[in-house]
C-alpha cells in the first residue's frame, strides 16, 4: 500500500502528468484516496458507496497498456454520481426503490470516461432522483459541507462537490437540471460546468431527446474541469444529441486564458434576489475585474418568465421518467418527488405550448445579450449553505418560495437557455462559507467560456481563507 496524502493537494492536471511520467501509478492514487476516505467520510458522507476492488482491477488493465494508450486521464480516479449506472456497483439513485440495485452495464458516459483512462472508485451521494438543492436521502442520509459540517453541501451533485472539498476526489462527474452542478459548487467552493446539451453523452435515457438534464464535470479549478470535460466528450450512437469531440481540446483553451473584453453583470437575472452579503461579494468580484481592465456593465436582463416554463418542462421530464415508479412505489418516495411526478402528469397541452414558447423567447434574449458581451456573470446561489436540518429554502432575502426548488431560479433560468454555464468560487462570507458566481458563455461556446473563466480565476486569485473544516 502506497499512501501519500500530500497528493490530495495537487491539481488533477499535475496528477495526470505524474501518471504519464510513471512517477506514480493509479494504485498509489487509489490507496491515498482510501486513506483519505477513511479519515473524512464518517463526518462528510460524500461517497457512501465505494468500489476500490473494481478500481484496482481496472488500474491493472490500464497498466498493461503503453502509457500513450492509457487515455486522457491515464488512470486518474473519478467518482460517479449515484444517479448514473456503473456496472457491478450498487446504484441507488438515492431511492429506497433502488436500494439494492446493481446494474449489469455502465451508463454510456461512464464507458466513455473509462475509455479515456478514468478509474471509477466510488459513487457520490445525491437526493432521491436528483430532486432538489440539498443532498439527503432515505438510503444514505445527509451529505455535509466540509467547510462547516452543520451546513448543506447543496445538491443534487452535493456528494461530488463535498468529495472535492474534503480531498476524496481530484475531479468528479455530476449532473445538472435546476442547478445541480452549480449550486453545490457554490456551497463547497469548487468548480462545476453545465455544458451545452449533447456535449456530454449519457444513457440510455427514458427520453434521449431531453435537453434540460445534462451531465458535466466538477473540479477544484477551471483547468481541471476542462480536463475532465475532454474525457467526458465523444459521440455515442445511442445518444441522438451527442456532439463530437472538439478539434482543439478544452484543456488547451483553459490553459490559454483570454480575458473577456466586456462583461454583463446581473444581480438576479430579473428572477431572483440574492442575500445582501452574497451580492456584496459578487460586486466586489466585478470591481476586481474592472480594476484589471475588463469592461463591466450592469445588465437589465429579465428572465422572470422562466419559472412557469421551467416547472412545466421539468414536470414533463419527471412524468416521463417516473410515472411507473410512482404507480408502484408511492409509499417509499420522498413527498417532493411525488409532487414532481404528479405535477407533470396533470399538465395540459396549453401549458406545454406556453412553456416551449417562453423557452424560445428566453433563448433569443440571451443570444441578443451575448452579441454585445463576451460573457454574462451572476451569483451562483442566492443563499449561503443552510443548516442540514432544513430540507429546502422557502424564504430568503425577502422572498417567499411556493415550491421547494424556486430558490434555485437563478440557476434554472439559465438551464432553459441552453447556454454553457460555469460556476466558480469568488469569495468567502464573514462566517467562512464559500460564495460563487456563474459565468455564462455563448451557444456551444465551452472553449471560449473556459478560457474566459480561467482568466477570471487568475484575477480573483486566492479566494479561500484557510482550509475546509474537514480535509
pLDDT digit string (tens) for 133-181? 999 999 999 999 999 999 999 999 999 999 999 999 999 999 999 999 9
Q: Which of 166, 180, 249, 451 is catalytic?
A: 180
Among this protein's residues, is 81 annotated catalytic?
Answer: yes
Containing H/E element for 225? helix 222-232
Is there a domain that residue 186 lies in?
A: yes
From the candidates 81, 123, 124, 175, give the one annotated as an active-site residue.
81
Q: Is 112 in a helix, a strand, or coil?
A: helix
- Asked whether residue 471 is assigned to any structural domain, the reply reads no
The CATH number of the domain holding residue 392 is: 3.90.1300.10
> What grid cell was written down for 209?
431527446
Set of cell numbers at residue 452: 474566459
Task: Specify the pLDDT at position 1.
Answer: 65
Peptide bond before residue 156 is cis, with ω within 30 degrees of 0 = yes
Q: What is the DSSP secondary structure assignment for residue 202, as one 8-state letter?
A: -
Q: What is the pLDDT of residue 461?
A: 79
pLDDT band, residue 463 (cuts 50/70/90): low
Which residue matches cell numbers 422572470? 304
pLDDT in tens, 38-85: 999 999 999 999 999 999 999 999 999 999 999 999 999 999 999 999
Active-site hit among 95, 156, 242, 266: 156
Contacts of 60 (CB under 8 A, 6+ apart): none
Specify the number of domains making up the chain: 1
pLDDT tens digits for range 398-430: 999 999 999 999 999 999 999 999 999 999 999
**Percentage, residues of the chain above pLDDT 90:** 97
Average pLDDT over residues 231-258: 95
Does some domain include residue 466? no
Boundaries of domain holding 377: 5-460
pTM over 0.85: yes
Query: Is 468 inside any structural domain?
Result: no
Between CA 358 and CA 399 the distance in angstroms is 23
- Is residue 470 included in any domain, yes or no? no
Residue 467, domain member (yes or no): no
Lowest mean pLDDT among 287-291, 452-456, 458-462: 458-462
Residue 429 annotated as catalytic:
no
C-alpha dihedral, 348 to 352 to 354 to 357, nearest 10°: -160
pLDDT score at 61: 98
User: What's the pLDDT score for residue 275?
Assistant: 98
- Within-domain flag for 118: yes
**431 within domain boundaries:** yes
Pairing relation of β-strands 295-298 and 262-265?
A: parallel
Amino acid at each position: 500500500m502506497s499512501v501519500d496524502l500530500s497528493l490530495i493537494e495537487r491539481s488533477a492536471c499535475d496528477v495526470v502528468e505524474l501518471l504519464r511520467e510513471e512517477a506514480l501509478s493509479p494504485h498509489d492514487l487509489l490507496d491515498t484516496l482510501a486513506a483519505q476516505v477513511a479519515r473524512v467520510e464518517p463526518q462528510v458522507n460524500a461517497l457512501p458507496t465505494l468500489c476500490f476492488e473494481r478500481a484496482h482491477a481496472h488500474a491493472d488493465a490500464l497498466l498493461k497498456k503503453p502509457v500513450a494508450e492509457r487515455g486522457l486521464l491515464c488512470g486518474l480516479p473519478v467518482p460517479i454520481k449515484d444517479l448514473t449506472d456503473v456496472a457491478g456497483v450498487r446504484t441507488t439513485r438515492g431511492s429506497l426503490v433502488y436500494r439494492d440495485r446493481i446494474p449489469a452495464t455502465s451508463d454510456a458516459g461512464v464507458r466513455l470516461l473509462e475509455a479515456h483512462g478514468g478509474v471509477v472508485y466510488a459513487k457520490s451521494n445525491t437526493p432521491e432522483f436528483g430532486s432538489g438543492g440539498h443532498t439527503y436521502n432515505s438510503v444514505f442520509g445527509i451529505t455535509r459541507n466540509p467547510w462547516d459540517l452543520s451546513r448543506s453541501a447543496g445538491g443534487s451533485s452535493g456528494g461530488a462537490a463535498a468529495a472535492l472539498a474534503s480531498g476524496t476526489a481530484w475531479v468528479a462527474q455530476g449532473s445538472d437540471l435546476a442547478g445541480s452542478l452549480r449550486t453545490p459548487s457554490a456551497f463547497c467552493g469548487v468548480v462545476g460546468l453545465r455544458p451545452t446539451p449533447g456535449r456530454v453523452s449519457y444513457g440510455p435515457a427514458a427520453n434521449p431527446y431531453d435537453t434540460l438534464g445534462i451531465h458535466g464535470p466538477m473540479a477544484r479549478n477551471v483547468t481541471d474541469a476542462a480536463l475532465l470535460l475532454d474525457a467526458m466528450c465523444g459521440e455515442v450512437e445511442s445518444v441522438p444529441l451527442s456532439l463530437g469531440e472538439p478539434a482543439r481540446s478544452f484543456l488547451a483553451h483553459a490553459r490559454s486564458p483570454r480575458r473577456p473584453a466586456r462583461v454583463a453583470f446581473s444581480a438576479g437575472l430579473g428572477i431572483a434576489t440574492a442575500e445582501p452579503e452574497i451580492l456584496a461579494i459578487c460586486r466586489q468580484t466585478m470591481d476586481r475585474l474592472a480594476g484589471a481592465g475588463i469592461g463591466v456593465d450592469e445588465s437589465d436582463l429579465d428572465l422572470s418568465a422562466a419559472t412557469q416554463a421551467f416547472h412545466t418542462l421539468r414536470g414533463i421530464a419527471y412524468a416521463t421518467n417516473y410515472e411507473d415508479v410512482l404507480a408502484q412505489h408511492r409509499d417509499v418516495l420522498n413527498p417532493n418527488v411525488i409532487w414532481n411526478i404528479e405535477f407533470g402528469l396533470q399538465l395540459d397541452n396549453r401549458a406545454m405550448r406556453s412553456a416551449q414558447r417562453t423557452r424560445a423567447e428566453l433563448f433569443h434574449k440571451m443570444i441578443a445579450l451575448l452579441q454585445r458581451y463576451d460573457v454574462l456573470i451572476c451569483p451562483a446561489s442566492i443563499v449561503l449553505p443552510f443548516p442540514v436540518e432544513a430540507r429546502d429554502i422557502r424564504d430568503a432575502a425577502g422572498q417567499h418560495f411556493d415550491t421547494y426548488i424556486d430558490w434555485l431560479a437563478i440557476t434554472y433560468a439559465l438551464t432553459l437557455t441552453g447556454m454553457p454555464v460555469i460556476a466558480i468560487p469568488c469569495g468567502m462570507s464573514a462566517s467562512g462559507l464559500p460564495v460563487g458566481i456563474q459565468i455564462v458563455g455563448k451557444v456551444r461556446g465551452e472553449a471560449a467560456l473556459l478560457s474566459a473563466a480561467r482568466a477570471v480565476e487568475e484575477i480573483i486569485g486566492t479566494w479561500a481563507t484557510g482550509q475546509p473544516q474537514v480535509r
